[in-house]
Amino acid sequence: MRTSLALAVSAALVAGTALGLAPAAQAADTSIRFVDIAGDGGTVLKANVVTPAGGDGSARYPVIVLPTSWAMPQIEYLAQAQKLADSGYVVVSYNSRGFWQSGGEIETAGPKDVADASKVIDWALANTPADPDRVGMAGVSYGAGISLLAAAHDPRVKAVVALSGWADLIESIYSGRTQHLQAAGLLGGAGYLTGRPGPELKQILGDFLSSNLDKEDEMIAWGRTRSPATYLDRINANGAAIMLGNAWGDTIFPPNQYASFYEKLTGPKRLEFRPGDHATAEATGLFGLPNDTWTSTHRWFDRYLKGADNGIDREQPVQLKSRSTGGYEGYADWKSVNADQRKFSLADTEHVWANVDSGANGGITLLTNALDQFLRTPPVVSVPLLPRAFAGVWQSERYDTAQKVRGTAKVHTTVTPTKESGTFVAYLYDVGPLGIGKLVSNAPYTFHDRTPGQSFPVDLELFSTAYDVPAGHRLALVVDTVDPLYIEHNPTGAQLTFSSPSADPSYVSVPLRQE
């Protein structure tokens, strides 16, 4: 299943990028060259260069370097590169090492990938009319992560736009100490289909998917090395202007880790969240079609590479687009998004048998949240019909007015296991008068080495979102132990009890926007 998913996704993205190439190929006012660039250690990186028309050889232009996304060919950004070149940028896009026709093995944003980014900048400064004082980097997904890492290691990078990327790789695919199965499987499958995974990646992926806890510390250390958040001090010291963009429903790099990283940046910064799944918010821009994400990208570079007074630095830096209304809302910072919290109690004790899917789940990677983006159709369940032997259910009161959920809902509860290991997934639903629940958010939680029969407290952050609960509806928290998105660690016959001790009551804290 993972292989077929990877094949389908890769084919769709390549086809879309090829279509996006059409307007670029037809344009005659800029120059497009396909070149080989020597990366770290001399590894050949396949690249393309788009330069503005009319240069007399003496003019210097700001330069933007675009590393490709995971499993994507070098033509990925040509439509956007054309637009940027038309407005006065030199654009160099290159195929990340280990993929397609570039040499080497997949390093998964390791030190060689970071060194490659600097080598490409070197090449651009030596072989194009690029201005060494106006260097930017951008990318989608894998290209976003490499761009942020490059900003930590190369002070020449003055501006970054990182779309659908990661700041913390562990929090992205191992949040709640739970393997995100579909995300890791999709990345691994696409890597094998379109590139050459190195022995380190093969080992890490094998240990991760097989739940080899003996290697957990090594896997975490591997992920930390590849996380921009690890180098936050360097990024802040270098002072690059950083714009982050992501989708609420990104099932590969969920939004929470981006928001946390954003709050710790000290230079010029901007955070944009929109409906969708991984890379779907900016996908139409790769076709060359109008796209809000890419519009902000161009404005960001115009401000911080060209010095244009376009007002983006005076706007509210946190821009959120609701899944329910489609309108944008501005905030001064991420803390302001979560400023107003409303709790509902999880007072009743619930006993849940493990290893059976109750029917509550987060959907399918790339598909489910893309449908929500375009059709506003999140996963649904009939809350009254959920089998209570396999699902715990708590509901709020019915709300008289619409509740605008904005930010990160948090669950606090007490768990008593019958086994030393276990996994549960918490789901927050918008429940209508007929009991139909629409998924607002979810998150997994896994524990190991617990004493059976001994209770322990759990604090779990659900994935951040922006969703409007209509008047007359209520919120429901559902927990069960199986979801196809995640690897679960429930031994056969395990049972989990969720309780609310009087000395430590259980609750859900929901962030709400106040008008």
| b/e burial code for range 119-136 (CB count within 10 A of at least 16 → b) | bbbebbbeebbbbeebbb
Which distant-in-sequence residues (6+ apart) come within 8 Å of 169 by Cβ?
Answer: 109, 145, 223, 224, 226, 227
Residue 22 confidence (pLDDT): 36
Residue 15 confidence (pLDDT): 36
Angle (CA) 436-442-446 rounded to 5° is 130
Q: How far is 405 from 428, CA to CA, in rounded Å?
A: 11
DSSP 273: E
Mean pLDDT, residues 432-452:
98
Q: Name the range with the highest mean pLDDT among 57-66, 221-230, 322-331.
A: 221-230
Residue 56 confidence (pLDDT): 59
pLDDT digits (tens, 9 = 90+) for 384-414: 999 999 999 999 999 999 999 999 999 999 9
Percentage with pLDDT > 90 across the chain? 91
Residue 9 confidence (pLDDT): 39
Q: 228 in helix, strand or coil?
A: helix
Q: How far is 326 from 110, CA to CA, in rounded Å?
A: 37
Q: How far is 353 from 338, CA to CA, in rounded Å?
A: 34
pLDDT digits (tens, 9 = 90+) for 314-369: 999 999 999 998 789 999 999 999 999 999 999 999 999 999 999 999 999 999 99
What DSSP element (H or E) covers 147?
A: helix 142-153
Hey, CA dihedral for 168, 171, 172, 177, is it positive or negative? positive
pLDDT digits (tens, 9 = 90+) for 406-435: 999 999 999 999 999 999 999 999 999 999
Structure tokens at 504: 């430590």
β-partners of residue 438 are: 380, 430
Q: Is the pLDDT of residue 16 over 90?
A: no
Q: How far is 113 from 97, CA to CA, in rounded Å?
A: 7
- 236 to 43, 62, 134, 145, 149: CA distances (angstroms): 30, 22, 18, 16, 12
Q: Is the pLDDT of residue 178 over 70?
A: yes
Q: 321 in helix, strand or coil?
A: strand
Q: Is the pLDDT of residue 12 over 90?
A: no
Mean pLDDT, residues 200-217:
95
Mean pLDDT, residues 221-230:
97
Mean pLDDT for the chain?
93
| Beta strand 380-382 pairing with 350-353 | unpaired
Q: Is the pLDDT of residue 493 over 70?
A: yes
* Residue 197 φ then ψ, to 5°: -60, 135
The answer to whether the beta carbons of residues 274 and 491 sit under 8 Å apart is no
Mean pLDDT, residues 18-27:
38
More confident residue, 9 or 39: 39
Residue 53 confidence (pLDDT): 87
Residue 55 confidence (pLDDT): 62
Residue 29 confidence (pLDDT): 63
Mean pLDDT, residues 167-196:
96
Q: Is the pLDDT of residue 26 over 90?
A: no
Q: Is the pLDDT of residue 511 over 90?
A: yes
Mean pLDDT, residues 199-212:
95
Q: How far is 481 from 495, CA to CA, in rounded Å?
A: 10
Mean pLDDT, residues 241-269:
97
Q: Is the pLDDT of residue 3 over 70?
A: no
Q: Is the pLDDT of residue 222 over 70?
A: yes
